[in-house]
């Protein structure tokens, strides 16, 4: 059993834990906004001191922050998915191999509508 399936099963049984992870994602998002806005001047000064080292560190921290938000949202939304649904999906436009942008957009739009129906 994969880690994804065990997490989905656990969060389906314990919805409060799934709610906690959704709340953590929102808290991380607004916490990041607060830190960046409240400490803008010291952060920019720190970045200017040694840009060669500090800018990649700041970018890595930002990517880690985004990854954690995405992971928390995925764990939090696992309680809404179907039982037989696999852990990794792609929309039909990526699998069909068609070169037409119109067909790819149409497939993506249909995929997003199906995702919206699941989460209502």
Q: Which residue has the higher pLDDT, 62 or 95?
A: 62
What is the pTM assigned to this prediction?
0.59
The answer to whether 92 touches 114, Cβ cutoff 8 Å, is no
Q: What is the pLDDT of residues 18-61, one digit of tens each?
A: 788 889 999 999 999 999 999 999 999 999 999 999 999 999 99
């Amino acid at each position: 059993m994969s880690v994804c399936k065990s997490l989905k099963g656990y969060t389906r049984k314990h919805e409060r834990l799934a709610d906690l992870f959704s709340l953590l994602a929102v808290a991380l998002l607004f916490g990041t906004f607060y830190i960046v806005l409240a400490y803008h001047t010291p952060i920019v000064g720190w970045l200017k001191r040694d840009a060669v080292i500090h800018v990649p560190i700041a970018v890595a921290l930002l990517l880690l922050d985004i990854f954690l938000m995405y992971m928390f949202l995925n764990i939090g939304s696992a309680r809404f998915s179907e039982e037989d649904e696999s852990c990794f999906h792609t929309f039909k436009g990526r699998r069909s191999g068609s070169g037409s942008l119109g067909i790819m957009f149409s497939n993506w739009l249909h995929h997003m509508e199906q995702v919206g129906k699941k989460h209502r």
